[in-house]
Structures are given as structure tokens and as C-alpha cells.
Amino acid sequence: MMPAQKTKKILFWFGLSLPMVALLAMTWLVHQTGGQFNSSFNFVMQTYKVLDMFEQTQSQIVDAEANQRGFFLTGRPEYLEPYQHAMQAIRDNIADLKILTSNDPVQQDNLAALEKMVDNELVFDPSTVFAAGQVPTNASVVTLTEQGKEKLENLRHILFQAHEEQQQALSKHQQAAEEDVISSQIMSLVLIVAVALSLVMVVVILLRLEKLQEFVTVCAWTGQVKFQGQWLRLDEYLKKQFGIAVSHSLSQDAAEKMMREIEELNRPGSPPPAT
């Protein structure tokens, strides 16, 4: 087979296989992009939920400390119920936050520090706060107020640090998602170009097939083929038109005819061949 014919065959199969490969690649890309979108959406929703729970926890810490200080200053039991409600909400939020950030060791450390500080600063036994007949003085009021401010500042510092860590994680994830989108767009563009090239190749192949379907003029007497105004032997025509190399042989009918002619010539009394 001639090199030109090999090239045509390669282009033919390449033109047929390229659209299929591009289709499979685009299917994979759509699946991959959909998975990345779902992952990013879930991460963003979870991050906003974590940030919202941090804010709720901070508000509940303020409520617990205010009711704790109110009980310390007055000894009235009506401060205990909202205090206990706020403390239960704080514990529930910290437990939920540990689950939501189970894959983030930094946040786990922040939550452990927050939980420890809440136990040390906000947990108390109401029955041991006041001795018999003890009444808060101005000095104790000032001291409790200062202590309350310090508690809140320490707790807010941990919450602020955890909040910032979550915001940074969200920013990194958004940046990675943007890079994935750009990569997907570039890959989509490459696939579109590949499909366009394959379509061009298919069109070329169809035009080639259409050209093959054209009528060929053959001499009824000599068997020559008319090509571009010239009469060529069939092997010359195939070589020029399609790059096909032709080998010669004898058909069975021709071989039998030749054998009969040889036998006729060798038969006694047969006339000599005409010169």
C-alpha cells in the first residue's frame, strides 16, 4: 500500500474515533464538574452553618455570663433558669461544631480550648456562691464586673480565632473552585476544537466518498479509463486517482482460454499461427 493510502486510512479512522473520544471526554467533564459543584456547594453551606453557630455560641456565652453575674450580685434564683438554658445551648453548639469540623484539626483545637474555658469560667454551683448572710458589697460588684469583662474577652478571642480560621478555609476553597472552573473551561474549549476538527475531517471524508461515487468513463473496446482528458489503463488510473499500486495476474477464465489455444496449436494438422 502506498504511503498516501496509509495516510488516508489513518485520517479516516482518526476522523471517526475523535468524535467518540471527545464525546466520552465531555461526558466525563460534565460528571466531574457536577461533582465539584456539589462538593463546593455542600462545603459553602456547611461553612456558613459553622459561622452562624459560632455567632450563636458567642451570643449564648454573653447571656450565660450576664445571668451568672446577675446571680452573683443579687442571689436571686430567677437568673438561674436563663443561665442554665444558655449553658445547655452552648454545650449543644460546641458538640455540633465538633461534628461539622471533624476534618479540620485546627478548629478541633479551637473548640477544645473554648469548651475548657467555658467549663472553667462559666460553670458554677449556685449553692456554694453565698455564705450564710453574705451580702454583695460595692467592691465585690466592681470585681465581678471586671471578671465578667475578662471572661467575655477571653471567650470572644477564641471564637474570633475560630471564626477567622473558617473564613480563611472558605476563601481557599473558593479560590480552588475558581481554578477548577477555569480548568474546566479550558478543557471544554479543547474538546470543542477537537470536535470541530473531527467534523472537518468527516466532511472531507464525505466529499471524498462523493467523489468516488462519480461516473467513470470506460472504453468498451480497450477497457481504458478516461481521466482528466486522457485515456489510461486501469492500473494507471487507480494509481493516479487513489494511489493504489496494482499487480497483474490471470483470471481463471483467461487461463483456461490460454490453455485451449495452446492445445489447439499443438494438435497435429492444426494450421500454423498467423504472423
What confidence tens digit (pLDDT) does each residue in 30-45 have? 667 766 667 777 788 8
Report the predicted TM-score, pTM, of the whole model to 2 decimal places.
Answer: 0.54
67 to 5, 143, 157, 167, 254: CA distances (angstroms): 92, 16, 21, 31, 117
Q: What is the mean pLDDT of residues 114-125?
A: 87
Please provide the average confidence, as pLDDT, over all residues in the chain.
77
**Confidence label for 124 from pLDDT (cuts 50, 70 and 90):** confident
What confidence tens digit (pLDDT) does each residue in 152-211 have? 788 888 888 888 888 888 787 777 777 777 777 787 777 777 777 777 776 776 676 666
Of 126 and 113, more confident:
113
Helix, strand or coil for residue 232?
strand
What confidence tens digit (pLDDT) does each residue in 20-78 have? 776 677 777 666 776 666 777 778 888 888 889 989 998 999 899 889 888 887 888 89
| pLDDT score at 81 | 93
**Confidence label for 2 from pLDDT (cuts 50, 70 and 90):** very low
Q: What distance lies between CA 124 and its chain's CA centroid?
A: 52
Decide if pLDDT at 93 tops 90.
yes
Residues 6+ apart with CB under 8 A from 6: none
**Confidence label for 265 from pLDDT (cuts 50, 70 and 90):** confident
| pLDDT score at 97 | 92
What confidence tens digit (pLDDT) does each residue in 217-238 have? 888 888 888 877 888 887 887 7
List, as one string, the DSSP characters of 82-151: HHHHHHHHHHHHHHHHHHHTTT-HHHHHHHHHHHHHHHHHT---GGGTS-TT----HHHHHHHHHHHHHH
Q: What is the mean pLDDT of residues 246-267?
A: 77
| pLDDT score at 18 | 65
| pLDDT score at 137 | 46
Decide if pLDDT at 95 tops 90.
yes
What confidence tens digit (pLDDT) does each residue in 132-167 have? 444 454 444 556 567 667 777 888 888 888 888 888
* Residue whose grid cell is 497435429: 268
Contact 129, 70 (CB under 8 A): no
Decide if pLDDT at 96 tops 90.
yes
